[in-house]
Chain A
Amino acid sequence: MSNVNLGVSLCGVDFKNPVTVASGTFGSGMEYSEFVDLNRLGAVTTKGVAITPWAGNPTPRIAETYGGMINAIGLQNPGLDTFLKRDIPFLKNYDTKIIVNVCGHSEEEYVEAVKRLADAPVDMLEINISCPNVKEGGIAFGTVPASAEKITKAVKAVAKQPIIMKLSPNVTSIADMARACEAGGADAVSLINTLTGMKIDINRRTFAVANKTGGMSGPAVKPVAVRMVYEVANAVNLPIIGMGGIRNAEDALEFIMAGATMVSVGTANFNDPLTTIKVVEGLEEFCDKNGVKDIKELIGCVK
């Protein structure tokens, strides 16, 4: 057994290790539990949920790109009622923290969702103000600092759990967006959401995804994501959940050294459902090899 302490703490919540999953790539963990021992994850971050079921976008919803993919699922979700009845009780069977990603079409919908989650047995809420694939809400809040601040304030006013604002990379200054969320009272920020992209199917002479544009993710976006985590870490005094193209512990360590307290595995889950576990094991191994007793020593160590 290793003596490394991988535990981290975020807004008063203690996580056994800094590894969670990127919202939308892991459902509520049910399907992945066949491969992954969810008890070994720092947290499960669930797919975006809204106050009512959403049907999402037409298909095709995804396309592979070099070293990544684009998706335009459109936040299909079963709605909070089903989610609270089915998904949360499922996750409560495991010794892991629960971060619920929340989406909405309007400020009222976000506030209503956060209110209805206030007494649910979940640890943190991640507010998705950065989905590039839904026209109303989503991205509109995530690209204008004043809107981000306003919605942060509104959800903070009703939230009982700590609030993570999920930031879009599709902005001029992600540091400004993080500052706006901090001003609004956010407890943490997570980044990056996907980069808006497009793929053309040259044989069909049309867009590869029905939504025309989609969110790009995967290893190809990692350098952009690491840079943004570093910028945000230097702009605000909020803990950061870093993500964007993480496939292994080395990738995760880049985010941690750039300033992330926790990291999320997203697209890599599609390539190998066991990626999260491999990242946890790899972090431990790296710390062991390098005489790091506590992973917290590495957070933001690159200035």
Chain B
Amino acid sequence: MTFRENATIAKASKLANGVFEIWFETKDIAKNAIPGQFISVYSNHGERLLPRPISICRIDGDLLRIVYRVVGAGTDEFSQMKAGEKLTIQGPLGNGYELDKIKAALESKGGNFKKALLFGGGIGVPPMLELAAKLDIQTDVVLGYRDQENFLKDEFENVSTVHIATDDGSVGFHGNVIDAAKAEELKADVIFACGPLPMLKGVKAYAKELGVPAYISLEEKMACGIGACLACVCKTHKKDEHSQVNNARVCKEGPVFDAAEVEI
């Protein structure tokens, strides 16, 4: 079920340079959401018609938190909103990390579901927080940042074993998250990741090396956000049932895909 709500902002704050959070009070969206799903956030200004798809960072009862980077006029507008103000949001959208299904798939192939490795890069960090909190197995999470502005790091430390990699070497491993995982010889039964495309390519290769599945969250420009307009497709190895071509909808069949099934 998808819901459209004019939601009140419970809290809005800045987490790092250009990175902001909003907590929404929702009627149905939070209750129905799972980690890895996203919501469409609509501008209050008529000239910006398209919703901004933003991943869900935390689900707490009726509260739903997004953490996003300001990349244009729409996200800039959101960043200036204050508690008590309202935004129209729609969701939960997409498949999310369907943990029971993933566990069953793994175990049906004789694999374990006892240890997970999570990768979050840049603005791909936030959705991994709800996932890390929901996973009731042992988790390591490798977070990649540009510099010392390690937003959400403390919260990850409450729910997982945290490893940091930074582009400038100011905190943790100097380099990318994959090299950090290799340096620490991090292994797992399953990998989850969200981040920029080069990172996801690295995750896909690393998972192949370890011989474990990787579930990655993809991003693409969207218009409707609900699977109708076919703007946000990704290339799939197999013919997609809905499209009858090798295109899956990131907003509907995704945003979470088995890395082995998509061309990235």
Select one of B221, B246, B252 contacting A62, CB under 8 A.
Answer: B221
Give the interface segment out of B14-22, B158-166, B230-238.
Answer: B230-238
Q: A219 touching B231 by the CB < 8 A rule? A: no
Residues of A within 8 A of B47 (CB): 66-67
Q: B221 touching A61 by the CB < 8 A rule? A: yes
Residues of A within 8 A of B228 (CB): 25-27, 30-32, 47, 269
Q: How far is the CB of A69 from chain B (nearest CB, A)?
A: 6
The range of chain B's interface size is 20 to 34
Residues of B within 8 A of A79 (CB): 244
Q: Is A39 an interface residue (CB 8 A)?
A: no
Once bound together, how far apart are the Cα atoms of A218 and B232, in whole Å? Answer: 19
Number of A-B contacts (CB under 8 A): 109
Residues of A within 8 A of B234 (CB): 59
Contacts A31-B228, A35-B4; A270 near B49 (Cβ below 8 A):
yes
Once bound together, how far apart are the Cα atoms of A11 and B50, in whole Å? Answer: 35
Residues of A within 8 A of B232 (CB): 59, 61
Q: B247 touching A69 by the CB < 8 A rule? A: no
Q: A76 touching B224 by the CB < 8 A rule? A: no
Q: How far is the CB of B254 from chain A (nearest CB, A)?
A: 13
The binding surface of chain A is classed by DSSP as: loop
Once bound together, how far apart are the Cα atoms of A296 and B42, in whole Å? Answer: 35
Select one of B226, B233, B245 contacting A78, CB under 8 A.
Answer: B245
Q: Is A271 an interface residue (CB 8 A)?
A: yes
> CB-nearest residue of chain A relative to B88?
A272
Of the candidates A62, A71, A269, A270, the one having the most CB atoms from chain B within 10 angstroms of its own CB is A270
Give the interface segment out of A50-58, A94-102, A135-143, A252-260.
Answer: A50-58
A55-93 Cβ-contact flags toward B at 8 Å (1 or 0)? 110011111101111010100101100100000000000
A1-43 Cβ-contact flags toward B at 8 Å (1 or 0)? 0000000000000000000000011110011101100000000
Contacts A61-B230, A62-B221; A82 near B51 (Cβ below 8 A):
no
Select one of B46, B229, B230, B246 contacting A270, CB under 8 A.
Answer: B229
Q: Is A268 an interface residue (CB 8 A)?
A: yes
**CB<8 Å pairs between A and B, sample of 14:** A27-B230, A32-B228, A35-B2, A56-B233, A59-B234, A60-B221, A61-B231, A62-B50, A62-B223, A71-B231, A73-B229, A270-B51, A270-B225, A271-B49
A residues sitting closer than 8 Å to B (CB atoms) are: 24-27, 30-32, 34-35, 47, 53-56, 59-64, 66-69, 71, 73, 76, 78-79, 82, 218-219, 267-274
